[in-house]
Amino acid sequence: MARYLLALFLSAACALIASSALAQQKKTAGEWVSLFNGKNLEGWTPKFSGHEPGVNYLNTFRVENGVIKVSYDGYKQFGGKFGHLFYKDRFSHYDVRLEYRFLGEQARGAPGWAIRNSGLMFHSQAPHSMRKNQDFPVSIEFQFLGGPAKGERPTGSMCSPGTNVVINNKLITQHCVNSKSKTYRGDQWVKAELQVRGSGKVKHLINGEVVMEYEQPQLDPKDQDGAVLIKAANGKLLLEQGYLALQAESHPCEFRKIEIRVLKK
């Protein structure tokens, strides 16, 4: 009987929390609201490959001088410790914006493709639904890339771990698609904005310019983790909502001015 009452209490508490979060989103619909308080990581949960959710491996994610900092000063080797910092609420129709920049040198032993590479994951699975050794959440990535000393490297591209999207009425199954953005070098702050309309259209903006558009974000049935989520969703592929997560992919970077504007469907 005691166990039943405890389960009933926990269920009611979870429902109350979910209802409160939904009510807060409705209350602030159409207004820009900060997701980061500038002081600590309240409302955010780290998840690193090889670790349980909530473990901030080697203090990789930290708050310094009013920014969320991704730091590798505690690492001897990267060791495949891909990390993500998840915001506590799910979103469906919204605009989200932030500023990012890359600093310093990449962690030792990290893959070459991850140099000056980070991103904002959206329509993501929950951190607690990930496998312990899963490198990336099933999600769509608004990719951030820093430019090399010479040559071009656009930022604001799209990558799709465990997912697919549609561009010009064609299903895109390749992992990443480049945007048409300019190249941004050095340690300059770059403004990134993402416009998401549920399972409909998505736009990537860099410094106010639209650099990429696509639609119908959806789970990939050929992906191991995507297939699990499809089964849990009774076969539904289209992604209508999900979590936001900042990446830690081996290169030091910073994030600030993280804001969201929730829209009505």
Q: What is the pLDDT of residues 90-109, one digit of tens each?
A: 999 999 999 999 999 999 99
- What pLDDT does 265 receive? 79
- What pLDDT does 28 receive? 58
- What pLDDT does 91 receive? 98
Q: DSSP of 54-119, one letter per residue?
A: T--GGG-EEEETTEEEE--TT-SS-TT--EEEEEEEEESEEEEEEEEEE-S-PPTT--GGGTTEEE
Which residues of the chain have a pLDDT value below 70?
A: 1-29
Q: Return the closest-CA partner of residue 113 out of 251, 264, 255.
A: 251
CATH number at 31-262? 2.60.120.560
- What pLDDT does 190 receive? 98
Q: Are 93 and 107 in contact (CB under 8 A)?
A: no
Q: Return the closest-CA partner of residue 194 out of 94, 87, 89, 96.
A: 96
Q: Return the closest-CA partner of residue 107 out of 98, 115, 96.
A: 115
- What pLDDT does 12 receive? 46
Measured in Å, how far apart are the chain's first and last C-alpha atoms?
Answer: 42
Which sequence spans correspond to the domains of the chain? 1-30, 31-262
- What pLDDT does 21 receive? 53
